[in-house]
Amino acid sequence: MNNQPNYITPEGFAKLRADYDHLLGVERPRVVEVVSWAAGNGDRSENGDYLYGRKRMREIDGQLKRLSKKMKDAKVVDPRQQPDKARVYFGATVTIADEDDRQRTVTIVGNDETDVDAGRIGWGSPLARALRRAAVGDLRRVTLPAGEKEYEVLAIAYPS
């Protein structure tokens, strides 16, 4: 069992809520309508619309259950309220440089908000864990799948 809080930004929580509301208010009623129509067409065992619709409804219900649990377990943290903006905490945008002076900027977000291509790394990721509480100028070592790397913290920013 994971004892880590499930931190999430207000924007991330709003996206979870929007996804939930869309599934519940748009997708599921549409599928229910198709299944009801298909059920009235006779033999259900050979009715593709009915069989696919029932399968899709189970998928939607599973997604709704997962989203509901994520929202229930979420601890919304607004990075704009961070009192110590000189150190890396949840919601920080951090510019780092590796041993070869290759710079990279990442924003530490909730694990449910991760988007590596957009530079958004999960709070529980190895890099985010290594950067926690770091200040500008600190060196942090992290073990990644490609091996161990050392990064220097060049800049820390929070949304305003």
Q: What is each CA distance from 45 to 39, 57, 101, 140, in whole angstroms?
A: 10, 17, 63, 60
pTM, to two decimals = 0.79
Q: The tokens of 19 are what? A: 């996804």
What is the average pLDDT score of the chain? 92
Query: Where residue 1 falls among pLDDT bands split at 50, 70, 90?
Result: very low
Query: Where residue 4 falls among pLDDT bands split at 50, 70, 90?
Result: low
